[in-house]
Structure formats: C-alpha cells, structure tokens
A and B are shown apart, each in its own frame.
Chain A
C-alpha cells in the first residue's frame, strides 16, 4: 500500500457543495426581491421563510431529538405577546424587540419543558398541548392593558418606520432563516449533535456512553423555542394584529408545520425546507381558487399527513435520496473516501 492511497474522511461531497451554492444564490435572489417594492412578493418571501424556520425547528425536535411536540404554538403566542410587551410596553424599537421577546419566551420554555419532560411519547405530545393551552388561558385572562385584556391588540408602528416595514422585516427574516438553518446544520455536525442523534437512535446505548440524554434534549427544546418565538414575533411585525386564540392556535400553526415536515421528510435538514415551500405554494394556489374551502383543504392536509406517515415515512426528500443515493445537500454524517470514491453510499435512512 503506497502512501498516496490514503483513506480520507470527508464531510461534504461535490454535489452537496454545488447544491449549497445554489441555495446561496436563492438567498441572494430573495434578498433582492425583499429590498424591492413589490409588497405581494415581499409578503410571500416573509411567510415562506417563517414557515421554513418553524418547520426546521419542529423537525429538530421530532426528527433529531425524538420529541414529538404538538405544543409549539405556545412559543408562537409567547413570541407574539413578547413583541407586544417589549415594543408597545417598554417602547423598544419594533425590530430590536424580537430579541428580548424570544429570550423571555425561551426562559419560559424552561419550566414548560421541565413539566413536559415528565412525559414520554404520545403523552408528551398531549402534555405539550395542555401546556400551550395553559399559557393561552393565562394570557387570555390577563387584565393588563398592554396585552389587550384578552381580546387582542395591535403592534404600534412609529410613523417613520411604516413605509419600510415590509422591506426591513423581509431582510431581517431572510437573515434569520439563514442563521437558523445554518445553526441547525452546524449544530448537528458538532459533538453535541452527534450526542443528540445517538440518543434518538438508541437512548440506552447513548446513556451508557455517558451522554446525558435529558440535558441534551432539554437544550434542544429551549433553542427550538427561541427560534420559534423569534420568527413568530417577526410574523406579527408584518401582521400587526395579535389575538390570543389565533396566536396560540394549533390549527393555524402546529398542524401545518407538522404536515410540512412529514411531507418534506422528517429527520433531514432538507425535508422541512422542501415541505415548507411546497405547502406554502399549494396553500397559496388553493386559497386563490374558490372551489376549495378551508375545511376541505384541511381534510386533504390531514389525509396527506396520515398517508405519508404510514407509507412515505421519509417524505419527499426520502424519495429523492432513495432514487439518488448519496445525494445530500446538508451532510451531517462523515464519509470515508478513497481518493474520489465514496464508500458510504447507503443513502440516508432512518
């Protein structure tokens, strides 16, 4: 064996680098649109980006940590009301306000998570829902003026910021989306991410290797809540009007997010992104057509979720990687290379 025949351990393949460059280009395009003045398109980009982050976070919880939460709407609502409190209440700049709003929300995620983590599996899921309900009821019965005394309130936007609102929000959300996705990517490639996936795959085994499964999952839960609240707050900078039942609604937020990730592919970074974009495009098209009423759309959504979770467990991205094994945009695993031959061509699998 000569010294030039070295086995190399690589993270990325050429295809993934190309794909990542393409994504980078798309981000640049989005920024261009967002600094333009086509409000409709700005709105679309903002919505899609928010969905991408929400889906990515839910996937981080479910696909990578094994925490199936149907209570993320709690953090959507907390992000919304956090924004109101920070901006209307404390007078912070509406854009700056999203950060403390998200921070407060993720601090609250600690006791919420502590309670929820007493449960497992399906009961954990319902538990997160109950906790979201508790948060909703507490806010709804709150009599403080800032919060709107339970019937809803609006974000106060200063005159000077009114014209540029969509543009600034747009740029902000695109940047946040990139940060969120890249963070997840970097995180999963780190030692911590490895520990997380080990816990997901085989908790007993991971524990016996010294991984603190509880702590690992808890940290992920708090981080996911942070980003969820961050983009939720951003949503309400655009939408302005905050109502407790809408902000904490499971059908408006959690149901679509779950369906997006399931369709796109649970347990992959690419899946939620694809699912979010696809879902948005379909819903956008459908709402412009008259024959599809809201309940009908939701029925189809529900059925699709059931069908995918039984028959197409890997989602669309799973189908793609099955057809083109080794094709990954965001490599999380390491591969062994001999020169340019890639040995690990098993494709992704769960």
Chain B
C-alpha cells in the first residue's frame, strides 16, 4: 500500500472538491442560500461540454470558455426567476424549491441524454504523468492542471472579494443585508452576481471532473455531498478553508480507497462526521452555522 502516493492523489482531488465547494460557499455566505441542485448544475455543464465537443470536435479545454458565459447567464436567470423569491423566506421553502430544481434537472438530463455515462475526451493528456519519487509517487499532468485551476479560481475569487468594490458589497451583504441596503447597495443585484459566480465555478468543476471520470445524469447529488462536506470540514466563511476542506476530504477518500476500494466514500463521510462532532465550525471556520 502506497500511502504517500494516496495522500498526493488525495490532495490533487481535493482541488476538484474545493472547486465544487466554492460555489456553495459563496451562495451561502452572501445570501444564506443552500442550493440542493448545485451538483446537478455541474453535471449539466459537463453534458453541455460533451455536446459541444462532439459537435465541433474541439477539445474540452476549449469548451470551458464557451460554457462559462452560458453558465453565468443560466445562473443569473435562475436567481432572478426562482431564487430571489426564496432568499430570506422560510428556509423550508428554500430547501424544497432547490430540491425540486434538483429533481427537475436530473430528470431533464436523463430524458435528454439517457442513462448511459459519458466522458470528455482529452486524448493523451490524461495519461501523461510526472514521476516525483521514482515509481512510487506519480503525479498525472491532468490532476496537476486541475489543481492549479482550482488555486487560480480561489485566488481570483479571493482578490475579487477582498479588493474590489463589488467584492466589498458582497462582504457587507453577507454581514448585514439590511444595512447593506442603506449603503446604496442593490442587494438583489448582489445576489444575482453571487449566484452567477456560484454556477460558473461549479460548471468549471463539472467539466474538469468529466475530463477524467465518466459522468451520468444522476451524479449530481454525490457532487453536492462532496461540496458540502468540503465546506463544513474547512469551515464556513473562509475560501481557503474551503480548499483545506476539499483536500482533507480528498485525502480521506484516497486513504479509504487504499484500505478497501469500497470504503472510499465511507471514510470521507466518517471524517466529515468527526469534524462535525468535534469542531462544528470547521477547521478555519469564522461563522456559526446559522
């Protein structure tokens, strides 16, 4: 059993999980919205990318740039039509609405694409790898690229939230939406941008996931759970906490898989539960789970 390699692979997968988690973190942070359809959006993006690649013959990496604006527009539309009406309302209705959306999306994908799994073809790139420590620790070029994309995404978001005028508005709205209005901030617009960011990031995550793994219409819930666990483990209110959470989850899973292939998800869940019991605010958590 190669523990070091497992850990390294786990860290790299953690980047993917952090990408999933980012959108959930942003939409919860800014508007206290937990979107149960979050994972399904990632799967939807992967399917769209697949359709694009099959019809144009272009590489999936290129599709990211096409899907991104589509995802943003979809996020804007969804927020305007559905979510702006459930933000701030009784959480039960918010949860039911996003749950209904999840069921709808999953089955629309099922209807359109049937139950057969698909994958995005990145050709030989998926096979190339870098030897770190002889033959024991081998890092694939693709997982490394994916990890770097995750870091870039988090850095960009961090700079946006920390340094820009709109980013400040995000933080103010997150702290106190009523007082944010008094600053001249149109919080509905803030919500729309926040959600657009959430959908865009999760779309990228979904496409990158599809480049290495097969995906099918019903995969959404599993991805939602990874995103959720990464957020909780890392702690609410912290983007770098989300990266940390993703990494911890990834490592837990790969170690679990090393022990027994059927234990991959279970070990991840168990680590999540332990953190929840022992330190519910997460490793870097700043906020209470309200």
Q: Which residue of A lies closest to B218 (CB)?
A: A251
The interface residues of chain A lying within 8 Å CB-to-CB of B32 are 121-122
Q: Which residues of A contact B224 (CB under 8 A)?
A: 126
Given contacts A70-B99, A295-B111, contact A122 B94 (CB under 8 A): yes
User: Is A66 located at the chain interface by the 8 A CB criterion?
Assistant: yes
- Per the 8 Å Cβ criterion, residues 268-287 of B in contact with A are 269-270, 272-273, 276-277, 280
CB atoms of A310 and B85 under 8 A apart? yes
Contact of B289 with A118 in the complex, beta carbons under 8 Å: yes
Which residues of chain B are within 8 angstroms of A246 by Cβ–Cβ distance?
none
Q: For chain A, which range describes its interface: under 10, 10 to 19, 20 to 34, or 35 or more residues?
A: 35 or more
Cβ of B123 < 8 Å from any Cβ of A?
Answer: no
Residues of A within 8 A of B110 (CB): 295
B139 to chain A, nearest CB (A): 29
Q: Which of A129, A251, A309, A310 has the most CB of B within 10 A?
A: A309
Q: How far is the CA of A350 from the CA of B91 in the complex (A)?
A: 13
Does A262 belong to the interface (CB within 8 Å)? yes
Q: Is A134 an interface residue (CB 8 A)?
A: yes
Residue of B nearest to A67 (CB): B92
Evaluate contact between A129 and B277: CB separation under 8 angstroms.
no
A57 within 8 A of B: no
Measured between beta carbons, the chain B residues less than 8 angstroms from A255 are 99, 103
Q: In the bound complex, what is the Cα–Cα distance between A275 and B83 (angstroms)? A: 24
Least Cβ distance of A266 to chain B in Å?
Answer: 6
B107 interface hit (Cβ, 8 Å): yes
CB-CB < 8 A to A28: which residues of B? none
Residues of A with C-beta under 8 A to B265: 133, 137
B240 at the interface (CB under 8 A from A): no
The answer to whether A119 touches B289, judged by C-beta atoms less than 8 angstroms apart, is yes
Q: Are A303 and B111 CB-contacts (below 8 A) given A122-B94, A125-B36, A127-B276? A: no
| CB pair B97 A305 closer than 8 Å | yes
CB distance from B193 to the nearest CB of A (A): 20
Does A8 sit within 8 A of B, measured CB to CB?
no
> Inside 8 A of A122's CB, which chain B residues have their CB?
28, 32-34, 36, 91, 94-95, 98
Q: Which of A68, A126, A259, A298 contacts B107 (CB 8 A)?
A: A298
Q: A298 contacts which chain B residues (CB < 8 A)?
A: 103-104, 106-107
A67-126 at interface with B (beta carbon < 8 Å): 68, 70, 115, 118-123, 125-126
With beta carbons under 8 angstroms apart, the residue of A62, A134, A303 that contacts B104 is A303
User: In terms of DSSP, what is the predominant structure of the interface of chain B?
Assistant: helix
Selected contact of A309 from candidates B28, B96, B108, B229, CB within 8 Å: B96
A133-B225, A299-B108 known; A266-B266 Cβ under 8 A = no
A239 at the interface (CB under 8 A from B): no
Find B91's partner among A68, A138, A295 (CB 8 Å cutoff): A68
B131: Cβ under 8 A from any A Cβ: no
List residues of chain A with CB within 8 A of the CB of B33: 122
* Chain A residues, Cβ within 8 Å of B225: 126, 129-130, 133
Question: Contact between B276 and A70 (Cβ–Cβ < 8 Å)?
Answer: no
**Pairwise interchain contact A310-B107, C-beta atoms closer than 8 A:** no
Residues of B participating in the A interface, judged by any CB pair closer than 8 Å: 28, 32-34, 36, 82, 85-86, 90-108, 110-111, 221, 224-225, 228-229, 232, 262-263, 265-266, 269-270, 272-273, 276-277, 280, 289-290
A-B contact pairs, 23 of them (CB 8 A): A68-B92, A118-B289, A119-B276, A121-B32, A121-B34, A121-B290, A122-B32, A127-B228, A130-B269, A141-B262, A251-B103, A258-B100, A262-B96, A262-B100, A295-B111, A298-B106, A299-B111, A301-B103, A302-B100, A302-B105, A304-B100, A306-B97, A306-B101
A-B residue pairs, 5 tightest by C-beta: A122-B34, A305-B100, A302-B104, A302-B103, A306-B100
Q: A122-B36, A310-B85 are in contact. List 4 more A-B contacts (CB 8 A).
A: A133-B265, A134-B273, A258-B100, A262-B100
